[in-house]
Amino acid sequence: MASQEQLSAIKVARVLMVGAGGIGCELLKTLALSGFQDIHIIDMDTIEVSNLNRQFLFRQSHVGQSKAKVARDAVLRFRPNISITSYHANVKDSRFNVDFFKEFDVVLNGLDNLDARRHVNRLCLAADVPLVESGTTGFLGQVTVHLKGKTECYECQPKPAPKTYPVCTITSTPSKFVHCIVWAKDLLFAKLFGDKNQENDLNLRSNDDANSSEHSEDVFECGKDKDIEQYGRRIYDHVFGHNIKVALSTEETWKNRNKPRPIYIKDVLPEKLTKENGNTKNGCATDDVSAMASLGLKNPQDVWGLAENSRVFLESLRLFFLKREEEIGNLTFDKDDQLAVEFVTAAANIRASSFDIPLHSLFEAKGIAGNIVHAVATTNAIIAGLIVIEAIKVLKKDSSNYRMTYCLEHPSKKLLLMPVEPYEPNKSCYVCSETPLSLEVNTHCSKLRDFVEKIVKAKLGMNFPLIMLGASILYEVGEDLEEDMVAIYAANLDKALSELPSPVTSGTVLTIEDLQQEFSCIINIKHREEFDEEKEPDGMLLSGWVEAPVDKDNNKPLGNGESTSNALPEEIMEGEKDVEIQETSEGTENVTGKKRKLSEVSKSTTPDHSGLSDESRNHNQLEKIDVDDEDDELIISDDWESLTKKKRL
C-alpha cells in the first residue's frame, strides 16, 4: 500500500506522457489507477485496425481517430475526476519547447523512433526535468531513468544505426530472404510505383542487348495505351530473366557461389493463364484491391509456389494500374498497404526462387519488410507498471533507489525482471557533457548542404540548426527569418565549405545550435583530401559521435543499452524503422562512464553482475532489435550468463 508521502507526491504531480500506443495505453491506465491527477499526452498517430489486439483503450469504432484523444476519453470514463489533456500533435512541434517541458515534474516516454527520443531527451536536459524511457519487443522490455547530472542521458551511449546491406549483395548476390525483400521493396517497388526518375540497377543492360529492340527503350515506362498484362510480363522477364542473365555473364562473381537461374514468365505461366488473373467474371473480388482476394488466395501464412507468386506479382501490378493509377509515381512502401505487401512478397519470392533461397509466406514477408516484431500486451503492461514505479521514485526524489529494469523472456537466476542501478553521465557525451566533436572533411569539395544533411540532421538529430563560425552565421532555420536572409542561407547550402563567406578550413571551430532543443555542440574541422567510398560513403568522418558497433564477421550492429534479444529471426533484426541499402562501415569504440551497480535484490541472487547492463559496452555479446511498432525497441543479451561475468572497462 502506498505511503502518505507517495500519495502526496502523486496527487500534486504534473506528468507528461509522450506516446499513446502499446505502452502508452497501459501507462495511461496505470497512472490513472495509481492516483495521478494531472496527466498530459502527446501523440501524432491515429488508430489503425492492427492496434486493436493490444491497445485496449481503443475499439473498432475508433479507427482513424486520434490516439491521444481516444485514450484520454476512455480513461476518463472510469476516472472522471482526474485531469487528462491530450495533444494530437508531433512532439517536435515548436509549441512543445523547453518552457512547455518545464511545466512538468516528470516525462514518461513511449516513443517508436530514435529521432523523437533524442529530441525529448534534449528538451528534458534543457528543462532539467527527469525522463523515464521505456521499450518493448515481444516478450522483452526495459525501463530506464535519466536525470540531468546524476545519470547518463539517453544519448550517453551509442544507438544502433539502421541495418545496412552492401548494394552489390542486394542487386547481384543475395543469399538470404531479407536481401530479396529489400530488393523488392526498396528497388523494384520504388522503381515501378515511386519516383520515375529514380535510377538503380534494375534497368541495367548487357552490351549485347543494349541495341536490341527489347531493351532499347525504358522497360519500366508504361504508356497509357499499353496493355497492362503485356507490361507486367515485360517487367517480369526483365527483372527476373534478363537482369539475371546479364549478372551471369560476369563469371568471376560465381566462382565460389551458386549460380542463379533466369526465370521467364512463359516458362512459369502460359500466356492464357496470365490473362485469366483477376478475371472478374469468375467471381473474384478485385474491388478489394487485393491480389489475394482477386485470385482466391485466403491464408497469408501459406507459402506460395513459384506459379502462385508469379500470379500474385502480375495481378498486384495490374491492380495498382487499374485501381490506384493516380497514386503511381508517389508511392512508398507501407506495411499496412495490403496490395504493396502482396507485390513485395511475390517479387521477393520469385527472386528467392532464382537464387535458390527458401520461400516465405506473406505473413513472414510482411514482418521482414516492415521490421515487425509482434507485440505482446502483457509485456506492455509490465513495462507500464515499472515506469510508474520509477516515476514515483523520481517524484519522491528517492535517487538511491532508481533502477533500470530489464524484462526477460526466460528466467535468469530465477528472475524475469532484472534491476540494475543507472550509470553516471558519460563524460564523453556530446549532448549532456558538451564534449567537442571533430569532423574530417574535404573542405574544398564538400558543400554546406552535405554537412547539414549528413551530419547536423542525420547524425546530431537537430531539427532547426543554427551554424556559426565565431560571430558569423553560416546557416539558420526558423519561421521568423526575413526573406533576404533565407535566400542567403539557401545560397550558402550549395557552396563548398571553403568557399563560404566565412570560409571553413582545417582548424575551423564551428558552433552548432538547435534553438528549439536549446542544445549546442562544438565541431572541430580537419581537412582531409580523400575518403574510402565504400567504408566512408558520406565523404566525411565525425569523431566523438558513435553509432552502434558492428560485428565484423556477421555485419550486424550490436547492443546499445536499450533492448536486446536473440529470440527473433535474423531477417527482422535492425533498422530504426527502415532497412537501408548502402555499403556498411566499420563501427567505432565508445568511451563509457562509471560502472553501474546491481540493486540489492539482484545481488542476492546473482553474485557477480557488475557488467549486467553493459549492452553497448560489451560489443561481442549483444544484438539490437528494432521494431516497427509503437511499443518500440529494446535490449537483451545473447548470453546473459557470460555477460554478467564481464567487468566494465
Query: How is the chain split into domains, by residue range?
Result: 4-160+374-420, 175-356, 437-543, 575-644
Per the annotation, does 632 bind a ligand?
Answer: no
Looking at per-residue pLDDT, the higher value among 372 and 20 belongs to 20
pLDDT above 70 for 73: yes
pLDDT above 60 for 339: yes
Under a CB-based contact definition with an 8 Å cutoff, are residues 346 and 189 in contact? no
Among 1-5, 97-101, 304-308, 609-613, the minimum mean pLDDT is found in 609-613
Among 219-233, 380-394, 517-531, 574-588, the minimum mean pLDDT is found in 574-588
Per the annotation, does 554 bind a ligand?
Answer: no
594 contacts: CB under 8 Å, gap ≥ 6 = 423, 424
Most confident of 69-73, 398-402, 548-552: 69-73
Under a CB-based contact definition with an 8 Å cutoff, are residues 380 and 329 in contact? no
pLDDT above 70 for 272: no
**This prediction's pTM:** 0.65
Query: In this predicted structure, what is the pLDDT of residue 620?
Result: 33
337-358 mean pLDDT: 95
Distance CA 281, CA 279 (A): 5
Distance CA 278, CA 284 (A): 6
- Residue 500, judged by CB atoms within 10 A of its CB (0-12, 13-18, 19+), counts as buried
Per the annotation, does 25 bind a ligand?
Answer: no
Query: In this predicted structure, what is the pLDDT of residue 123?
Result: 95
In sequence order, the β-bridge partners of residue 88 are none
148-169 mean pLDDT: 79
Distance CA 47, CA 173 (A): 40
pLDDT above 80 for 613: no
Per the annotation, does 170 bind a ligand?
Answer: no
Residue position matching grid coordinates 514468365? 265
Query: In this predicted structure, what is the pLDDT of residue 265?
Result: 93
417-446 mean pLDDT: 91
Strand order in the sheet with 415-420: 83-87, 38-42, 14-18, 106-109, 131-137, 140-146, 404-412, 415-420
549 phi and psi, to 5 degrees? -60, 155
Per the annotation, does 180 bind a ligand?
Answer: no
Query: In this predicted structure, what is the pLDDT of residue 582?
Result: 42
Per the annotation, does 23 bind a ligand?
Answer: yes
Of the pLDDT bands very low, low, confident and very high (cuts 50, 70, 90), residue 207 is very low
Of the pLDDT bands very low, low, confident and very high (cuts 50, 70, 90), residue 545 is low
C-alpha cell at position 497 = 565549405
Distance CA 326, CA 328 (A): 6
414-419 mean pLDDT: 92
* Mean confidence (pLDDT) of the chain: 79
In sequence order, the β-bridge partners of residue 46 are 66
Query: In this predicted structure, what is the pLDDT of residue 641?
Result: 35
Among 164-173, 286-295, 549-558, the minimum mean pLDDT is found in 549-558
Per the annotation, does 153 bind a ligand?
Answer: yes
201-215 mean pLDDT: 46
Distance CA 571, CA 583 (A): 18
Among 202-206, 218-222, 408-412, the minimum mean pLDDT is found in 202-206
Could you report the per-residue pLDDT of 564-608, keeping only the tens digit for each? 333 333 332 222 333 444 433 333 333 333 444 434 333 433 333
pLDDT above 70 for 625: no
CATH class of 175-356: mainly alpha
Of the pLDDT bands very low, low, confident and very high (cuts 50, 70, 90), residue 378 is very high
Query: In this predicted structure, what is the pLDDT of residue 481?
Result: 84
Residue position matching grid coordinates 566499420? 586
260-280 mean pLDDT: 73
Of the pLDDT bands very low, low, confident and very high (cuts 50, 70, 90), residue 303 is very high
Architecture of domain 4-160+374-420: 3-Layer(aba) Sandwich (3.40)
Query: In this predicted structure, what is the pLDDT of residue 580?
Result: 47
Per the annotation, does 52 bind a ligand?
Answer: yes
Query: In this predicted structure, what is the pLDDT of residue 577?
Result: 37
Q: How many CB atoms lie within 10 A of CB 285?
A: 14
Per the annotation, does 432 bind a ligand?
Answer: yes
Looking at per-residue pLDDT, the higher value among 596 and 19 belongs to 19
Give residue 100's identity as a one-letter amino acid code.
F
646 contacts: CB under 8 Å, gap ≥ 6 = 611, 614, 618, 621
Query: In this predicted structure, what is the pLDDT of residue 295?
Result: 93
Under a CB-based contact definition with an 8 Å cutoff, are residues 333 and 185 in contact? yes
Q: How many CB atoms lie within 10 A of CB 50?
A: 14
Percentage of the chain modeled with pLDDT above 90: 48
Task: Tell me, yes or no, if the two domains 4-160+374-420 and 175-356 fold the same way.
Answer: no
3-state helix, strand, coil in the chain (%, to 5): 35, 15, 50
229-244 mean pLDDT: 91
Architecture of domain 437-543: Roll (3.10)
Distance CA 477, CA 123 (A): 18
Per the annotation, does 618 bind a ligand?
Answer: no
Could you report the per-residue pLDDT of 417-430, keeping only the tens digit for each? 999 999 899 888 88
Query: In this predicted structure, what is the pLDDT of residue 433?
Result: 86
Q: How many CB atoms lie within 10 A of CB 561?
A: 28
360-372 mean pLDDT: 87
pLDDT above 70 for 639: no
Of the pLDDT bands very low, low, confident and very high (cuts 50, 70, 90), residue 277 is low
pLDDT above 50 for 175: yes
Among 97-101, 277-281, 499-503, 551-555, the minimum mean pLDDT is found in 551-555
Looking at per-residue pLDDT, the higher value among 584 and 431 belongs to 431
Expressed in angstroms, the distance from the first to the final Cα of the chain is 41
Could you report the per-residue pLDDT of 462-521, keeping only the tens digit for each? 888 999 999 899 999 887 788 888 899 999 999 999 999 999 999 999 999 998 888 899
Query: In this predicted structure, what is the pLDDT of residue 281?
Result: 40
Under a CB-based contact definition with an 8 Å cutoff, are residues 634 and 135 in contact? yes
Per the annotation, does 51 bind a ligand?
Answer: yes
pLDDT above 60 for 49: yes
Query: In this predicted structure, what is the pLDDT of residue 202?
Result: 62
Active site residues: 168
Looking at per-residue pLDDT, the higher value among 574 and 304 belongs to 304
Under a CB-based contact definition with an 8 Å cutoff, are residues 513 and 520 in contact? yes
Looking at per-residue pLDDT, the higher value among 107 and 52 belongs to 107
Looking at per-residue pLDDT, the higher value among 34 and 53 belongs to 34
